[in-house]
Amino acid sequence: MVELNIKFSDLVRVFVYGTLKPGEANYKKYCADKVVDVKRAFVEGKLFALPMGYPAMTLGNSKVYGYLLSFPNSRILNELDVLENYQPTRQSAENLYNRQIIEVYEPQSLSYSWAWVYLMTLERVDQLGGFFQPDGWWSGCSLTVNC
């Protein structure tokens, strides 16, 4: 984690549930040297595993487990937007994922804060052959040998 003297109000928070989680494929490249805080957390939604080897989350009323990552500034969003094939100027149907603010909870069900999350439409999940993950947890470890 990066050690910086920054104000709490300046932090940019992102809830991650897939390849950006600590220990998963994209954490080291995109997050490890930029993150200033990592907390286990959950949100309300529906989690799907996609055949391409990464997950998708939609709006819903199940629990989706992951991590609340805090970054010192909003530059991280530009990098994550590229990774998630999201452009704010496009129509939402043209994006693979859409970024929006969602309430994030700590494991004891108390609200941590609000954070950005990348969501996919249910129509896109269906197009891509996603299958529901009822336990709300995704891991790419079954896809790689180095977990």
CATH of the domain at 107: 3.10.490.10
Identify the CA nearest to 136 among candidates 50, 54, 19, 48. 48
Give the E-state strand segments of 26-135 in sequence order: 37-49, 55-71, 98-105, 111-119, 131-132
In a domain, 40, yes or no: yes
**Is residue 80, in this structure, part of any structural domain at all?**
yes
Q: CB neighbours (10 Å) of residue 59?
A: 14
The answer to whether residue 140 sits within a structural domain is: no
Q: Per the domain annotation, does 1 fall within a domain?
A: no
Secondary structure of residue 92 in the 3-state scheme: helix
Quote the domain boundaries for residue 70. Answer: 8-128
Q: Is residue 60 part of a domain?
A: yes
Q: How many domains does the chain have?
A: 1
pLDDT in tens, 53-76: 999 999 999 999 999 999 999 999
pTM above 0.75, yes or no: yes
Query: Rounded to 10 degrees, what is the CA torsion of 22, 99, 2, 111?
Result: -80
What is the tens place of the pLDDT at every residue in 73-124? 999 999 999 999 999 999 999 999 999 999 999 988 888 899 999 999 999 9
109 falls within a domain: yes
Residue 2 domain-assigned?
no
